[in-house]
Amino acid sequence: MSAERATHILPVILCGGSGTRLWPASRESMPKQFARLVDAAESTFQATARRVADPAVFTRPAVIASSEARFIVAEQLAQAGIAGDIILEPEGRDSAAAVAVAAVHAAKADPQAVVLIMAADHVIGDTAAFSAAVRTAALGARAGYTMTLGVEPTRPATDYGYIRRGRALPEADGAYAVERFVEKPDAAGAQALIAAGALWNSGYFLFRADLMLAELEAHAPDVLAAARAALESATTDLDFVRLDAAAFARAPKISIDYAVMERTHRAGVLPVSFPWSDVGTWDAVWQVLPRDAAGNAVRGRVELLETRNSLVHSEGEGLTTVVGLEDVVVVATPDAVLVASKAQSGRVKDLVGILRAKAHPEADAHRRMYRPWGWYQRIDIGERFQVKRIMVTPGGRLSLQKHHHRAEHWVVVRGTAEVTLNERVVLVHENEAVYLPIGAMHRLTNPGKIPLELIEVQVGSYTGEDDIIRVEDIYGR
């Protein structure tokens, strides 16, 4: 291990969470950390990864994500030009298990590695200030503290936890020992905490791998044992490290705050004052977006008349208009519209619960469904037909499959398709079509260098996604 390596920080990005409070833009099939809600150019996950991409400070990052999100994570890292280790959780077991996996993973390369735990869905307004704070906090971590970043409160928030600071830590300039972690307070409690100098708990942690392992051994040995076993028995599949499902399932579901932070005697906090948000509600999204003179934040095709202090987010080609309202949130997507009072935007989570209970598919599934080979999107449906637009990335290859209840017509509108149809393989170019009879074994591949797009017209008595008989699949599905 080089001396340089020893001074570097290993970033670990936690990608869990389905972000239902930002429905309908964020859904289980594309949660908020991967959606481009705050910035049209990149997701908060990509921004998070980019924030720790400086090789003078950080080593190759690790990403801990759900198995379902693996192709989105890989695609978004590739888009951002960032290489990382992707560790897949077979199921979410809360943050202590994820942090334990991070610590075990880091210690394998360097027991004294300093690990920075980050959430994938936070917005930070000043990367330079963030980077400086992380380097300062790393000094505390190297000296043996589990450090947190504590955000200077800008309002008496009741939706964040607080940290009361104690004595100054001589090892890291400006940092303090943690006196106590405080749960989300009521409004009066928040006022009192702020008056006493308490800070918001940002959820960013820095620690030395070996010391976190010791803390876990002391305070949450079951979590640590499960994490170790899950990594030891992990399999490598394409570019992913898949934790062993049986082993990982034995990890108790507990947060790192409960499991370690509130119990350790060596917690430190570095006050930071850069703009920070966990973007937990549409109101919070409105807060972090640029706004016009009337206080409106808009995205997409939007027209407003006599409207103030509102967020209007219009996805796709549609036009979204608002007349004579204040303090509202309007989110229009191609298949679902949300209109909410900004003050009650936290209740969107409850709304999604209702949508799930009533089995509305829009609760969890987006119109555009991402797959390892690209994406598809339903564009029309009728009694005995369905029309989809399909995009296959260069080199992408759908499974070899057949259908019992539908025939398919494919019209290539961009790029070139290699179509396997029973025994034959044909190339289909732009403005050419191919017909796949019911029951025919077929496979679609993009052999070219540009994305392949085609229109699929399905005709038959049943056009559901479950009428796919997969015979072979390069993505292990």
Interface residues toward a second copy, by CB under 8 A = 24, 301, 303, 305-306, 314, 317-325, 328, 330, 332, 334-341, 343-345, 347-348, 350-351, 354-355, 358, 360, 362, 379-385, 387, 389, 407, 409, 411, 413-414, 430-431, 433, 435, 453, 455, 457, 459-460
Could you tell me which residues come within 8 angstroms of residue 473 by beta carbon, excluding any fewer than 6 positions away? 399, 400
Q: How far apart are CA 152 and CA 142, in angstroms?
A: 24
Could you tell me which residues come within 8 angstroms of residue 350 by beta carbon, excluding any fewer than 6 positions away? none
Cβ nearer to a second copy, comparing 255 with 321:
321
CB of residue 431 vs a second copy: minimum separation in angstroms? 4
Cβ nearer to a second copy, comparing 250 with 414:
414
Cβ nearer to a second copy, comparing 24 with 31:
24
Q: Are 235 and 242 spatial neighbours (Cβ–Cβ below 8 Å)?
A: yes
Burial of residue 470, with CB atoms counted within 10 A of its CB: 0-12 exposed, 13-18 middle, 19 or more buried? exposed
CA nearest neighbour of 263 among 229, 214, 203, 209: 214
CB of residue 18 vs a second copy: minimum separation in angstroms? 17
Cβ nearer to a second copy, comparing 8 with 368:
368
CB of residue 152 vs a second copy: minimum separation in angstroms? 31
Cβ nearer to a second copy, comparing 158 with 341:
341
CB of residue 13 vs a second copy: minimum separation in angstroms? 31
CB of residue 467 vs a second copy: minimum separation in angstroms? 16
CB of residue 433 vs a second copy: minimum separation in angstroms? 5
Give the containing element (helix H, strand E) for 209: helix 209-219
Task: Collapse the DSSP code of 77 into the 3-class scheme (helix H, G, I; strand E, B; otherwise coil) and give the result.
Answer: helix
Cβ nearer to a second copy, comparing 237 with 306:
306
CB of residue 427 vs a second copy: minimum separation in angstroms? 17
CA nearest neighbour of 348 among 376, 322, 311: 311
User: If you write DSSP's letter for every residue of 407-443 in order, what string do you get?
Assistant: EEEEEEEES-EEEEETTEEEEE-TT-EEEE-TT--EE
Q: Is the dihedral angle over the CA atoms 23, 27, 28, 34 positive or is it negative? A: negative
Cβ nearer to a second copy, comparing 1 with 339:
339
Q: How far is CA 458 from CA 116, 389, 435, in A?
A: 49, 11, 10
